Amino acid sequence: MNHNAKLNGAGDYTIPNIRLDLRPEGLPEELGYLFDLVTVDDGLDYIGHPDSVLLKNGDILTVYPSGHGKGAVRSRLSHDGGKSYTGSLKNQPASWQTSRETPTVYRLEFSDGTPDKLLLVSANPDWNDGLGSVGGFNFSLSDDEGEHWSEFELCFGKKDGYDYLPIVAMASLTRLKEGGRFVDKWMGFFHDRNFVNYKTILSFEGGKPVWSVPVPYFAEHREIEKAANMCEVEVIRSDCGKGDELCLIARSNDKNYNSLLSFSTDEGETWSAPVFAPSALNGERHKADYTSDGRLFITIRSIERSPEKLMKYAPDKAERGWFSEGWVAWVGRYEDLHGGEGQYRIKLAHVCTEERLEPQEVAGDDTGYCGNVVLPDDTIVTSTYGAFGERNVDGGLKTYVVSKRLRLADIDRLAEWEKLN
């Protein structure tokens, strides 16, 4: 990769941009729901960074911190496929009140007949807020679909002689294969403040969880990892999650670079030289899910680096070199990750700023970090955080968690309708 190239992947996308922040006149009634937002939790002046998991009874569990990237874990449940959200978990562990990071939540499926488990992870960075850090990461498990959870268990903390200070653990958690078959091992990714990216493998011995000592997995490409400030890595398995290739999509925290793509054919042991993601997929905190027709739905916090777009829509941000379209999704196929651009970009809703309260190309960039689930009927329920119009008692914009429902078949219909109208 020539990461000294002037634009480092910057450009504009050419695929259709489907805007769900502006409801057009004459829209067919059955497509109207695509423009609706549902409030998940607006109980504080600032709530952010949700993650979600689908429960076997059809409920959606969404978790998030009580603040910007840190604070006690809060939770909400939807019993109707994301149309509404009610109270929190009934038996939430007391230790979740000590969470210092954005919680992530995953389902663990076993091949040996063990019932599924739910896993919640929260890292322990040092935020330089005077509170210090115990280091490592905490995790909780549930054996009964979230009815009860274990208290936080600390892994690789300072008290055990480790010096890891993880951020966003686990940004991704990927079930691994051995000999072409899935095994009961999961590869988790996190990064630290120096933008060294680590992996740790979760397995179970005698029914008890065991995490391997974290090791850097991208050291072969350390130059670009460091230059781009690579972090918050999503991993996608080919062939609708059943294939033998993994694709890594990384945030470039140094926004002078597009997001990075890298591939592995040996279950994450080695990774190809990274390439820049197409501008349609450039952003932060990628979260990916397949639908039944084989398409990928990937949510991002959009980062737009095209010099032409900057001058047209955000000249006030030209000096820093980027602006955001806010809460965005990319739709395409796995094959598009190998040099393609995808099928659609979707602006899911307008994230407000005081300067830009009404929907437009430029939006607030404090958003993303989505919790996404796909229901059995292929309805996608995606949740994020941001400023969506509500105000706090002081009159400022409130930042809170919302969700949206959509089906890609209806996005297809909307795209066709827009062509004709």
Task: For 4-50, write each residue's pLDDT tens digit.
Answer: 444 688 999 999 999 999 999 999 999 999 999 999 999 999 999 99
What CATH number did the domain enclosing 340 receive?
A: 2.120.10.10
Domain assignment present for 299: yes
Domain assignment present for 332: yes
pLDDT digits (tens, 9 = 90+) for 87-134: 899 999 999 999 999 999 999 999 988 999 999 999 999 998 888 899
Assign 328 to helix, strand or coil: strand
Nearest to 150 by CA among 207, 91, 205, 206: 91
Indicate the number of domains in the chain.
1
Can you say whether residue 179 is alpha, beta or left, with left for phi > 0 and alpha for psi between -120 and 50 degrees?
A: left
Element (H, E) at 387: strand 380-391
Domain assignment present for 1: no
Q: Check if the beta carbon of residue 238 is closer than 8 Å to that of residue 245.
A: yes
Domain assignment present for 390: yes
Q: Check if the beta carbon of residue 168 is closer than 8 Å to that of residue 190.
A: yes
Q: Check if the beta carbon of residue 273 is closer than 8 Å to that of residue 288.
A: no
Domain assignment present for 7: no
pLDDT confidence of residue 7:
67
Residue 357 one-letter amino acid: L
pLDDT digits (tens, 9 = 90+) for 369-384: 999 999 999 999 999 9
Nearest to 229 by CA among 284, 269, 304: 284
Domain ranges, residue 267: 17-420
Domain assignment present for 178: yes
- pLDDT mean across residues, the chain: 96
Domain assignment present for 98: yes
Residue 364 one-letter amino acid: G
pLDDT confidence of residue 165:
97
Assign 95 to helix, strand or coil: helix
Domain assignment present for 237: yes
pLDDT confidence of residue 4:
40
Beta-sheet strands, E only, within 255-341: 260-264, 275-276, 283-290, 296-302, 327-332
pLDDT confidence of residue 381:
98
Radius of gyration of the chain (CA): 21
Q: Which residues pair with 155 in a beta bridge?
A: 137
